[in-house]
Each structure stands twice: as C-alpha cells, then as structure tokens.
Amino acid sequence: MVKLYEITVEPLSPLGTPLKGDTIFGHVCWQASEDPSLVKGGLEEQMRQYDERPFAVFSSAFPKLIGPGGTVSYAFKRPDLPLALLSGLSGGKLSTDVLKIKEQKKRRWMIVGHDLQIKAELIEFISAEELGRRARSGLAEDTQRQIRRKGPPRFSSGFVQAHNTINRLTFTTGTGTFAPYTQDAVVYLPGVKLALFVVIEEQATDVEKIVKALERVGKWGFGKDASIGYGRFAVRQWTELPIPLSDGANAMYMLGPCVPQPGSFKDAFFIPFVRFGKHGGNLARHSNPFKNPVIMADEGAVFVPANKDAFDRPYFGRPAMNVSKAQQEAVVQGYALYVPFRLEC
C-alpha cells in the first residue's frame, strides 16, 4: 500500500545543491546503505525491485506558505506550458495579448492549496517578489523586523562565495601562492519552510524511517560543499495527505525531475535538465566517482499520458539504470510525483 506524506524542512545554511527529488532519493539511499534497518530487506533488496515497486519516490522541495488563520499553501514552479496558454488570451487585439504574456513572464510561481488541487479557474500566479512578501508575513515579528531593514524580501537568493586554496599542513596559502576560487550557493529567508512530498510503499518502509534518514542528511549536509557547512536543514514536521484525485484529469504536473517511459505520453511540455551525478560515501573516493549524465524533464513539466491507466499510480516515469561504472546496480530516480489536472488546449 502506498501513502503520500508532506515533510516540512527548514534550511539552516546555504545550499550548494538544489533540493531536487532525484538527489534527495540518492541521499536517502546512502543512509539506507549505512543503516539497513531503514528499508525492509536492506537497500540491495529494494533496488532489485525498484523498477517495478519503488520503496519511495521523492518530490523536489517547494516553498511552504502559512497564511491567515494558519492556512497552508505551496508555491510550485509555473508549469512549463506556452505562455499564450497560461495567459488566457482573448483572441482580440494583438497588443493586449502581448501585454498579458509580458505580465505572465514575471509570475514564475503558482500557488496551490493544501489539497494539491490545480483548477484552471482558481489558479493564482505570483512573482518572486510577491512570494517573498507572503513568506515574510508568516514569520515571527522579530524576524520580520530584521528582514525589513534589508530591503524587499526574496524567498531565496543566489550568491557567490569567494574562497582561497589553503595548505592543510601549514594552514596558509603557501609562500608566493594565491589560488582564489568561487562557489555558487542559494540562501533562504531565515525561518522559512520548504515542503517535500514523498510516496512511500509501506511494505518496504515507513515515514518515521524516511524522516530519520532525512534528519541525518540535514545534520551532516546535503549536496556539494557539505564539508564547509552548506546543505544543513532541520525536519520540522510531517503529515499524511490524501493522494490527489484524478477524476476528469488528462494531464500531469510534475513535482520533480522525470525520465518518461518512451511511448507513455502523447504530449509533453518541459525544460530539459541534465543530471551530472556523483557518488557519495566511500565511492566518492573511487577512481571514477562520476555517473553518466541523465537527461530529465525538470520539475514543472506537464505530460499528457497516452493511457488513462497512468493515473492508477501516484508517480510517472521510470528509473534510470546503468549510470555508473563504479557501481553497476546504481539507480537514478527517474520517477516523479505529479498533480493531476485538466488541461484545455
């Protein structure tokens, strides 16, 4: 039996790697490899049947907003549909339609309620600035005052951190040596929350074990540059959600990077995303720790499945196999959770 959960996390440091579904899955797998009690029969047993019955499928992490009266909503990336389709063009004056499209370009986020229902007549698109304002309104008053002093809030911002190469024996750059470099990272407003969704096969594991794995990842660091303090987060809470109903739906909005099965869709709208994966744990020191590149459809993609049976399970896609020369059984999560909705073309 599969169940859907929302797990709330709070970033505690900059992130050098985005919290995308496939990478979260990889980190949880490394935790399961070190602690076999996290999944029934151990990780190797679960990987043997992953293409037929995945023990867990993770979404990417999305902003979680707390509104008046404690109402919960999520900010999803705007669907990768043509802007003309999203803008509700009138078919009238060309100048009016162009202005609608220009305005829509600024609204990169889509607000979805706690029930995970996407309804065309109720969809609300907002800009990054508006997302920052809404996120700030849900924070403690002291935190809001601190943020106001720094200008208009943004939910997250990219920055470049300068470093210099240090000799670990002398703890200096060395005589006549100067080797600066920079690293990109993302920093969030203090106190904001991110929601990630996970479908769990309860015969293989349970939400408490998944949360335990995520807590360990957040403690030791997620993604690149964890050794210098990046990638820290705390798990704040988790709750079970009903799997979104697909009655009347003909399309899927992807909540994470996806590798679709050939012939499984009749129409698709997506931005390609290439995962240049790398092993963690002991394999990070292997002579070839890098995985083969995997081309995926990034979160926000929209697929129109070729068969209605696709709605019978809450994830879409397939795993990517044969991605590593260091570990033949390595798997990349090509499955993605989705929100079903009605697409009128």
- How many CA within 13 A on the CB side of residue 320? 25
- Say which residues have a Cβ less than 8 Å from residue 6's Cβ, sequence separation at least 6: 195, 196, 197, 238, 239, 241
Please list, residue by residue across 298-326, b when 16 or more beta carbons sit within 10 angstroms of its beta carbon and e when fewer do.
bbbbbbbbeeeebbeebbbbbbbeebbee
Residue range 212-221: mean pLDDT, rounded = 95
> DSSP string spanning 125-148?
EE-HHHHHHHHHHTS-HHHHHHHH
Q: Give tens-digit pLDDT for 290-325.
A: 888 999 999 999 999 999 999 999 999 999 988 887
Supply the pLDDT for residue 94.
Answer: 46
| 207-220 helix and 21-34 helix, angle to the nearest 10 degrees | 100
Which runs of consecutive H residues, i.e. helices, occur in the chain?
Answer: 21-34, 42-48, 83-86, 94-106, 128-137, 141-148, 207-220
Q: Give tens-digit pLDDT for 57-71.
A: 999 999 999 888 888
Q: Are 112 and 118 in contact (CB under 8 A)?
A: yes
Supply the pLDDT for residue 145.
Answer: 62
- Say which residues have a Cβ less than 8 Å from residue 122's Cβ, sequence separation at least 6: none
Confidence of residue 158 (pLDDT cuts 50, 70, 90): confident
pLDDT > 50? residue 273 = yes
- Give CA–CA dist 23/152, Å, rounded: 31
pLDDT > 80? residue 164 = no
Nearest Cα neighbor of 202 from 24, 30, 40 is 40
Give the distance from CA 155 to its chain's centroid. 15
Q: Are 28 and 210 in contact (CB under 8 A)?
A: yes
Q: Give tens-digit pLDDT for 4-17.
A: 999 999 999 999 99
Handedness of CA 101, 103, 105, 111 (dihedral sign): negative
pLDDT > 80? residue 163 = no
Q: Highest mean pLDDT range out of 188-197, 209-218, 288-297, 320-329?
A: 209-218
Handedness of CA 296, 26, 245, 237 (dihedral sign): negative
- Give CA–CA dist 71/318, Å, rounded: 35
Residue range 319-336: mean pLDDT, rounded = 87
To 10 degrees, the CA torsion angle through 334, 337, 342, 343? -30
- Give CA–CA dist 143/152, Å, rounded: 14
The side-by-side arrangement of strands in the sheet containing 2-11 is 124-126, 109-113, 72-77, 56-66, 193-201, 2-11, 233-241
pTM value is 0.89
Six token digits for residue 24:
């979260």
pLDDT > 70? residue 141 = no
304: region left, alpha or beta (phi > 0 left; psi from -120 to 50 alpha): beta
Q: Are 305 and 285 in contact (CB under 8 A)?
A: no
Supply the pLDDT for residue 277.
Answer: 84
Supply the pLDDT for residue 89.
Answer: 39
Mean pLDDT (the chain) is 86
What are 61's strand-pairing partners?
A: 196
> DSSP string spanning 144-211?
HHHHHTTSS--SEEEEEEEEE--BTTTTB--TT---EEEEEEEEE-TT-EEEEEEEEETTT--HHHHH
Nearest Cα neighbor of 36 from 169, 209, 180 is 209
